[in-house]
Amino acid sequence: THISIGLGIKACLEGYSVFFTSVPHLLTMIREAKTEKSLRNLEIKFERYDLVICDELGYVGFDKEGAEMLFNHLSLRTGKKSTIITTNLPFTRWEEVLKDKVLCSALVDRLCHKSYLVNMTGTSYRIKETKKYITNK
Protein backbone atom coordinates (compact mmCIF):
# COMPACT_ATOMS: atom_id res chain seq x y z
CA THR A 1 0.00 0.00 0.00
CA HIS A 2 2.72 2.44 1.01
CA ILE A 3 4.70 1.95 -2.19
CA SER A 4 1.59 2.11 -4.38
CA ILE A 5 0.62 5.43 -2.77
CA GLY A 6 4.13 6.74 -3.42
CA LEU A 7 3.93 5.68 -7.06
CA GLY A 8 0.51 7.31 -7.32
CA ILE A 9 1.79 10.59 -5.88
CA LYS A 10 4.77 10.56 -8.24
CA ALA A 11 2.45 9.94 -11.21
CA CYS A 12 0.26 12.88 -10.10
CA LEU A 13 3.31 15.12 -9.83
CA GLU A 14 4.25 14.11 -13.37
CA GLY A 15 0.81 15.17 -14.61
CA TYR A 16 -0.87 11.78 -14.86
CA SER A 17 -4.42 11.17 -13.66
CA VAL A 18 -4.57 8.68 -10.80
CA PHE A 19 -7.43 6.92 -9.04
CA PHE A 20 -6.77 5.17 -5.72
CA THR A 21 -9.36 2.92 -4.08
CA SER A 22 -9.63 -0.22 -2.04
CA VAL A 23 -11.09 -3.22 -3.86
CA PRO A 24 -14.08 -3.38 -1.47
CA HIS A 25 -14.82 0.32 -2.08
CA LEU A 26 -14.50 -0.15 -5.85
CA LEU A 27 -17.04 -2.97 -5.72
CA THR A 28 -19.40 -0.76 -3.71
CA MET A 29 -19.02 1.98 -6.33
CA ILE A 30 -19.76 -0.50 -9.13
CA ARG A 31 -22.82 -1.90 -7.34
CA GLU A 32 -24.17 1.61 -6.68
CA ALA A 33 -23.57 2.65 -10.29
CA LYS A 34 -25.33 -0.49 -11.49
CA THR A 35 -28.33 0.25 -9.25
CA GLU A 36 -28.46 3.87 -10.42
CA LYS A 37 -28.12 2.78 -14.06
CA SER A 38 -24.90 4.80 -14.39
CA LEU A 39 -22.49 1.87 -14.71
CA ARG A 40 -21.27 2.87 -18.17
CA ASN A 41 -20.37 6.35 -16.86
CA LEU A 42 -18.28 4.76 -14.11
CA GLU A 43 -16.61 2.45 -16.65
CA ILE A 44 -15.71 5.41 -18.87
CA LYS A 45 -14.13 7.25 -15.92
CA PHE A 46 -12.30 4.09 -14.85
CA GLU A 47 -10.90 3.61 -18.36
CA ARG A 48 -9.65 7.19 -18.64
CA TYR A 49 -7.36 7.30 -15.61
CA ASP A 50 -3.70 6.94 -16.52
CA LEU A 51 -3.14 4.89 -13.35
CA VAL A 52 -5.63 3.01 -11.19
CA ILE A 53 -4.49 1.65 -7.84
CA CYS A 54 -6.71 -1.06 -6.33
CA ASP A 55 -5.64 -1.66 -2.75
CA GLU A 56 -6.37 -4.59 -0.46
CA LEU A 57 -7.45 -7.37 -2.82
CA GLY A 58 -8.37 -10.32 -0.64
CA TYR A 59 -8.83 -8.68 2.75
CA VAL A 60 -12.59 -8.85 2.36
CA GLY A 61 -14.10 -11.74 0.44
CA PHE A 62 -16.82 -11.14 -2.09
CA ASP A 63 -19.46 -13.08 -3.95
CA LYS A 64 -19.36 -14.35 -7.54
CA GLU A 65 -21.07 -11.21 -8.84
CA GLY A 66 -18.42 -9.07 -7.11
CA ALA A 67 -15.66 -11.15 -8.69
CA GLU A 68 -17.24 -10.75 -12.11
CA MET A 69 -17.63 -6.99 -11.64
CA LEU A 70 -13.98 -6.67 -10.59
CA PHE A 71 -12.87 -8.78 -13.54
CA ASN A 72 -14.93 -6.68 -15.97
CA HIS A 73 -13.60 -3.39 -14.64
CA LEU A 74 -9.97 -4.48 -14.62
CA SER A 75 -10.38 -5.96 -18.10
CA LEU A 76 -11.39 -2.51 -19.38
CA ARG A 77 -7.82 -1.35 -18.72
CA THR A 78 -5.93 -4.40 -19.96
CA GLY A 79 -3.26 -3.41 -22.46
CA LYS A 80 -4.32 0.24 -22.39
CA LYS A 81 -3.52 1.88 -19.07
CA SER A 82 -1.54 1.12 -15.93
CA THR A 83 -3.06 -0.65 -12.95
CA ILE A 84 -1.55 -1.50 -9.58
CA ILE A 85 -3.10 -4.19 -7.39
CA THR A 86 -1.96 -4.61 -3.78
CA THR A 87 -2.61 -7.78 -1.83
CA ASN A 88 -1.09 -9.96 0.84
CA LEU A 89 -2.26 -13.08 -0.97
CA PRO A 90 -0.19 -15.08 -3.45
CA PHE A 91 -1.91 -15.83 -6.77
CA THR A 92 -2.43 -19.39 -5.58
CA ARG A 93 -4.93 -18.08 -3.00
CA TRP A 94 -6.85 -15.63 -5.23
CA GLU A 95 -9.37 -18.33 -6.11
CA GLU A 96 -10.47 -18.30 -2.44
CA VAL A 97 -11.43 -14.64 -2.84
CA LEU A 98 -12.77 -14.72 -6.40
CA LYS A 99 -14.75 -17.96 -5.91
CA ASP A 100 -14.31 -18.97 -9.55
CA LYS A 101 -11.30 -20.89 -10.87
CA VAL A 102 -11.75 -19.90 -14.54
CA LEU A 103 -12.36 -16.23 -13.75
CA CYS A 104 -9.39 -16.21 -11.38
CA SER A 105 -7.12 -17.71 -14.02
CA ALA A 106 -8.28 -15.20 -16.63
CA LEU A 107 -7.82 -12.23 -14.28
CA VAL A 108 -4.33 -13.30 -13.21
CA ASP A 109 -3.43 -13.88 -16.87
CA ARG A 110 -4.56 -10.36 -17.84
CA LEU A 111 -2.91 -8.69 -14.87
CA CYS A 112 0.41 -10.48 -15.36
CA HIS A 113 0.66 -9.80 -19.10
CA LYS A 114 3.33 -7.11 -19.64
CA SER A 115 3.52 -6.53 -15.89
CA TYR A 116 6.00 -6.05 -13.13
CA LEU A 117 5.37 -8.24 -10.11
CA VAL A 118 6.82 -6.94 -6.86
CA ASN A 119 6.89 -9.46 -4.05
CA MET A 120 7.37 -7.68 -0.75
CA THR A 121 8.71 -9.53 2.26
CA GLY A 122 9.69 -8.38 5.69
CA THR A 123 8.10 -6.45 8.50
CA SER A 124 5.16 -4.19 7.81
CA TYR A 125 6.04 -0.52 7.42
CA ARG A 126 3.24 0.36 9.88
CA ILE A 127 4.68 -1.97 12.52
CA LYS A 128 8.15 -0.44 12.09
CA GLU A 129 6.69 3.08 12.40
CA THR A 130 4.68 2.15 15.49
CA LYS A 131 7.70 0.58 17.21
CA LYS A 132 9.76 3.68 16.39
CA TYR A 133 7.00 5.94 17.72
CA ILE A 134 6.70 3.96 20.98
CA THR A 135 10.48 3.92 21.46
CA ASN A 136 10.74 7.70 21.02
CA LYS A 137 7.95 8.49 23.53
For the chain, give the secondary structure using H, E and C: CHHHHHHHHHHHHCCCCEEEEEHHHHHHHHHHHHHCCCHHHHHHHHHHCCEEEEEEECCCCCCHHHHHHHHHHHHHHCCCCEEEEEECCCHHHHHHHHCCHHHHHHHHHHHHCCCCCCCCCCCCHHHHHHHHHHHHC
In this prediction, what percent of the chain has a pLDDT beyond 70? 100
Find the range with the poorest average confidence among 16-30, 50-64, 121-135: 121-135
**pLDDT greater at residue 133 or residue 73:** 73
**pLDDT greater at residue 11 or residue 135:** 11
Mean pLDDT of 34-47: 96
**Integer Cα distance of 79 and 12 in angstroms:** 21
Domain boundaries, the chain: 2-136
| Whether the Cβ atoms of residue 95 and residue 130 lie closer than 8 Å to each other | no
> What pLDDT is recorded for position 128?
79
Mean pLDDT of 33-37: 96
> What pLDDT is recorded for position 61?
81
CATH number, domain 2-136: 3.40.50.300
Q: Does the pLDDT value for residue 36 go beyond 90?
A: yes
> What pLDDT is recorded for position 25?
97
Mean pLDDT of 114-125: 85
Partners of 57 in beta bridges: 87
Q: Does the pLDDT value for residue 125 go beyond 80?
A: no
Chain-wide mean pLDDT for the chain? 93
| Whether the Cβ atoms of residue 82 and residue 52 lie closer than 8 Å to each other | yes
